[in-house]
Structure 1
């Protein structure tokens, strides 16, 4: 989400987005560290391995260098794979936070909360739009009850 969209949100939505960010931030930080290490290590190792492509004679030192480059590439791939695992972990944490937040609502009826929870579970690609709709309805209900 870009900064302009975030700044145009009502205060109650910004608060929830900050809470979501706090839930995801530690895992995202770890993921970014893995990616920043994995990509250069993987690229350097693969480029170095490709430099051996046209060699006709291989000595023991060449095999050792190729082995080290292959280990570096394997290490980079492992870190890259771990970063994709961390991405799924972030998605699950955010998904779980949204479901918990919907179920903890004190303003909406159980029927409305269950409808939103069901919509989030059945349509995982529209989680954020369903969550925004939920927050709008909750805030409207809260304002009506305050009057």
Structure 2
């Protein structure tokens, strides 16, 4: 989400987005470290390995260099794989937070909460729009109750 969209959100939504960010931040930080380590390591290793492509003389020293470069490339690929695992972990944490937040709502009826939870579970690609809709309905209900 870009900064302009974030700043245009009502305060109650911004608060929830900050909570989501706090849930995901530690895992995202780890994921970025993995990616920023993996990509250069992989590129450098593959470029170095390609330098041996046309070489006809292979000695022990050359095999050691090739082995080290291959290990570096394998380690880079493993870090990329771990990064994708961390991405799924972030998605699960955010999904879990949203479901718990919906179920904890004290303003909406159990029927409405169940409807939103079911919508989130059945349509995982629209989780954020369902969550925003939930927050809007919850806030309007909260304001309506405050007027009474």
> Do both share a fold (TM > 0.5)?
yes
Q: Give, in whole Å, the separation in 2 of the partners of 1:57 and 1:21.
A: 54
1:56 Cα deviation after fit: 1.1
Q: Give, in whole Å, the separation in 1 of the partners of 2:49 and 2:121.
A: 45
Residues 62-101 of structure 1 correspond to what in structure 2 (within 5 A)? 62-101=62-101
1:25-68 Cα offsets, whole Å, 9 max, x none, are 00000000000100000000000001111011211111000000
1:137 Cα deviation after fit: 0.2
Q: Give, in whole Å, the separation in 2 of the partners of 1:109 and 1:136.
A: 14
Q: Give, in whole Å, the separation in 2 of the partners of 1:115 and 1:48.
A: 56
1:102-145 Cα offsets, whole Å, 9 max, x none, are 00000000000000000000000000000000000000000000
Q: Which residue of 1 aligns with 2:46?
A: 46
TM normalised by structure 2 equals: 0.99
Q: How many correspondences in the alignment?
A: 147
Q: Give, in whole Å, the separation in 2 of the partners of 1:110 and 1:104.
A: 10
Q: Which residue of 2 aligns with 1:20?
A: 20
Q: Which residue of 1 aligns with 2:9?
A: 9
Structure 1 unmatched runs, 5+? none
Structure 2 unmatched runs, 5+? none
Runs of 4+ aligned structure 1 residues displaced above 6 Å come to: none
* C-alpha RMSD over aligned residues: 0.4
Q: Which residue of 1 aligns with 2:118?
A: 118
